[in-house]
Amino acid sequence: MTTDESEGYIEKYDDMFTEAIRLKSFQKWPFGDDAKCSAAKMAEAGFFHCPNETELDSVQCYVCFKELDGWDASDEPWAEHLSHSKICVFAKIGKPQKDLTAKEVFRIEMERKVNKNKRITAQLLYDFRKMSEEAEDFFVEMMEKTESERKKK
């Protein structure tokens, strides 16, 4: 099991609120119904499928946004979720959607909003740093150009 934190892709999480919608994302999931990490069990444990070119079994939690891949048929989704994301309130509560109380649903949603805002902030910081670096490169280049033109005179 390997994990990956990546930037971006913030808006798609809002669509993954229900177990039924998450389950639909698993149409190309490489494990069958007899695996412990079946599509239904994965969706129940808060994950949606987000395969990429290198990791066909990459999934992400809609609450804590943890990404996990490298699944094995004997991996138990709830246990993997909690062991790789101990702060996730959804994994800590550890119940299928149908068994959640109104209070728990509210708590999960509040936590998801906090996590989402953290990710948005991280993305903005990342973009800002990149912009600053580009501005610095541009500035240094201009300085060098000015300097070399000054020497020509």
**Cβ distance to Zn ion smaller for residue 40 or 82:** 82
Exactly one of 42, 61, 68, 108 binds Zn ion (CB under 5 A); that residue is 61
User: Which stretch in 70-78, 88-96, 100-108, 113-121 sits in contact with Zn ion by CB under 5 A?
Assistant: 88-96
| Cα angle, residue 117 at apex, residues 116 and 119 outer, rounded to 5° | 65
The 3 state secondary structure assigned to 65-87 is: CCEEECCCCCCCHHHHHHHHCCC
Strands 2-4 and 67-69: antiparallel
Stretch that binds Zn ion, among 10-18, 27-35, 64-72, 140-148 (CB under 5 A): 64-72
CB atoms within 10 A of CB 31: 18
- Rounded to a whole number of angstroms, the minimum distance from the CB of residue 34 to Zn ion is 25
Provide φ and ψ at 104, rounded to 5°: -65, -40
* Choice between 99 and 152, CB closer to Zn ion: 99
Number of residues in contact with Zn ion under rule CB under 5 A? 7
DSSP 36: T
Which tokens in the block code for residue 18? 């229900």
Answer whether 48's CB lies under 8 Å from 60's CB.
yes
Q: Using the minimum distance from each CB to Zn ion, give the nearer residue, 37 or 61.
A: 61
Which CB atom, from 35 or from 85, has the smaller least distance to Zn ion? 85
Q: Which stretch binds Zn ion (CB under 5 A): 8-16, 70-78, 79-87, 99-107?
A: 79-87
Residue from 42, 45, 59, 88 binding Zn ion (CB under 5 A): 88
